[in-house]
Amino acid sequence: MPSVSRVLKIAAIVLVAAAILAFPSLAPNPYVLSAGVLVLNYAVLATSWNFVGGFTGYISLGHGALAGLGGYATGLLVVKGGLPAFAALLVGAALVAAVAVPVGFAALRVRGASFVIVSIALVLILLLVFQSWASFTGGSRGLVVPRPFDLSRPEHHRVFYYLFAGLLAVALLVWWLIDRSVFGLGLKSIREDEDKAEALGTATFAYKLMVFVVSAGFTALAGGLYALWFGDLDPVFQFSILTGSYLVLMALLGGVRQLFGPLTGAIIVGVALEYFKVEYGDTPLHLVATGLLLALVVLFMPDGVLPAIGDLIRRFTPGDRTSIREVSAAELRDQRLQNAGGTR
């Protein structure tokens, strides 16, 4: 018989999925529908970030740059290369994933604050390149990407809303599969103690590089889909430190070790950002609000909203206990034996 917490979890997933699918029909106007597209874009980006942050514990502020690269790769392949929109999207994501190999090869050799600094440097370097190379990227004038569909404004938003929802579903499925694989076990051992994991036989650098490339691919797909939806790319916006900071906030808010943590954080932060922009315009007030939100989360819910809700449910169902998927010494030993068996 399924536990109470499991039933509640399944019910919550079904309700959230139904709400996401029904949102376009309930949106009162095109602006609200476009805000929904933005929130789903944030959800895909935050989930993509969580492949690295959630599994390995490496905090990257440079994923906004990977999204910007995906957007520009898609846009330039359409405008300069003449490729169909969705072919350009897939080719652009593949190119960004390929670029992520040498980038990750260099960046993942450092840890902690050094890795954060390297990720910030990536954003700044790409911003300078795409601003300065005006003859190719459009520079500060921006790059206009043709719309792939000849639709009215509401229908355009509706189509892309469901495209982002589909991409989110694929990203969540891949994260879930990795979480339950030997590969995911190795990644979580890196998160808990990288030196000990390496001493026990885990190929830590190879694991980190592989998940970084997967994360970059999904991030680039989200960035490219945004370029096809919005149609106007500006390097200052595409390569912004704030984007990476928002992704970290969303993932931390929802819970980085949770499948639906980044989605939860994206809904909360994304809706809050749109609300403050509507109410107070283009002012720094939304930055103050997000800073306060992060402080409250760190003080009262350090593991995120979803773990806090789970603890609350378990408090009222004392007979219901679910195992926490942490990496134990026995699991590390089993993984080492599996790795040794695979190399024979």
Q: Give pLDDT, residue 207.
A: 96
Find, among 46, 314, 302, 322, the residue nearest to 172 by Cα.
46
**Hey, how many other C-beta atoms are within 10 angstroms of the C-beta on 284?**
9
Angle subtended at Cα 324 by Cα 319 and Cα 325, rounded to the nearest 5 degrees: 150
CB 212 within 8 A of CB 108: yes
- Surface-to-core class of residue 42, CB atoms within 10 Å of its CB (0-12 exposed, 13-18 middle, 19+ buried): buried
Please report how many Cα atoms fall inside a 13 Å half-sphere around the Cα of residue 70, on the Cβ side. 29
What's the CA gap between 60 and 113, in Å, rounded? 10
pLDDT per position as a tens digit, 27-77: 999 999 999 999 999 999 999 999 999 999 999 998 999 999 999 999 999
**E strand residue ranges, 29-140:** none
CB 265 within 8 A of CB 251: yes
What's the CA gap between 319 and 310, in Å, rounded? 14
What's the CA gap between 39 and 44, in Å, rounded? 9
Find, among 137, 124, 118, the residue nearest to 76 by Cα.
137
The single-letter code of the amino acid at 238 is Q
Q: Give pLDDT, residue 326.
A: 53
Judge if pTM exceeds 0.85: yes
**Residue 169 DSSP SS3:** helix
CB 94 within 8 A of CB 221: no
Q: Angle, to 10 degrees, between the axis of helix 85-107 and the axis of helix 63-79?
A: 140
- Please identify every stretch of the chain with a pLDDT value under 50, giving residue numbers as ranges: 1, 320-325
Q: Give pLDDT, residue 1.
A: 47
pLDDT per position as a tens digit, 215-254: 999 999 999 999 999 999 999 999 998 899 899 989 988 8
Q: Give pLDDT, residue 284.
A: 73
User: How far does Cα 317 stand from its chain's mean position?
Assistant: 33
Q: Give pLDDT, residue 6.
A: 77
Written as six digits, the tokens of 203 are: 């190929």
Q: Give pLDDT, residue 80.
A: 94
Q: Give pLDDT, residue 324.
A: 40
